[in-house]
Amino acid sequence: MQTLTNESTGVVRNGLSVSKLHETVSAIRKVPTLGFLKFHVHNQWSTIRLQSQAKVDTFYGAGQEQHHERPLVVNADEPAVLLGDDTGPNPAEIALSALSACMTSALVYKATAMGSDLESIESEFEGDLNLTGSLGIDPRVKNRFQEVRVKFKVKSDLDAATIEEMVKSSPVYDTFVRPVKVVVEIEKV
């Protein structure tokens, strides 16, 4: 296996440049404000039932405003049983998708930094909602996910406990399991 001390040769592990990864971490360690990230999403309701489009374009990172190579979108809808047109995943499925992508990339970053090769990562997410909560039918029922169950299948030389620690270092995982402050402002136009 290639070692992490061999950075000058431009080692690539799990598709990532190991030297670039270590340079990034070192830069943030030296200048912690380089670790600040700010993400923006603009959402537009289509006026067609429950269809909306979330668009991302710019973000703040590495100390400056950044642009995606092109604007990227996430289209949401609801299935017919929830009165939508089923043209896109629903918001709960998109939330689980975000969780799945974040836990996966956390594993890729951490395993690469540690010098481990990943052969495959696959994962299943299952989340329970109960509409009697969000509809206000039963105030004792939680409106958020009642529980989310995650199963990772990973082919690598890492042990299960290390993998678990790595996937749990995901910011979106932490957003699910701990409270986040969300400030909401309404403007009537």
Pairing of strands 12-13, 147-156: unpaired
1 binds its own copies (CB under 8 A): no
Q: How far apart are CA 122 and CA 100, in angstroms?
A: 9
Of residues 21-40, which lie at the interface with its own copies (CB under 8 A)? 21, 24-25, 28-29, 32, 35-40
19 binds its own copies (CB under 8 A): no
Of residues 73-112, which lie at the interface with its own copies (CB under 8 A)? 74, 76, 78-79, 81-83, 86, 88-102, 104-106, 108-109
11 binds its own copies (CB under 8 A): no
Minimum distance from residue 82 beta carbon to its own copies (Å): 7
10 binds its own copies (CB under 8 A): no
Residues touching its own copies: how many (CB under 8 A)? 128
> Maximum CA pair distance of the chain?
63
- Decide: 122 and 186 in contact? Cβ < 8 Å: no
Nearer Cβ to its own copies (6/68): 68
Task: Tell the burial category of 111 from Cβ atoms under 10 Å away from its Cβ (0-12, 13-18, 19+).
Answer: buried
Of residues 127-156, which lie at the interface with its own copies (CB under 8 A)? 127-138, 142-156
Of residues 159-178, which lie at the interface with its own copies (CB under 8 A)? 159-161, 163-164, 167-178
7 binds its own copies (CB under 8 A): no
Nearer Cβ to its own copies (11/154): 154
Minimum distance from residue 6 beta carbon to its own copies (Å): 18
Q: Which of 145, 180, 46 is nearest to 55 (CA)?
A: 46
Burial state string for 150-174 with b = 16 or more CB within 10 A and e = fewer than 16:
bebebebebeeebbeebbeebebbe
Q: How far apart are CA 35 and CA 17, in angstroms?
A: 19
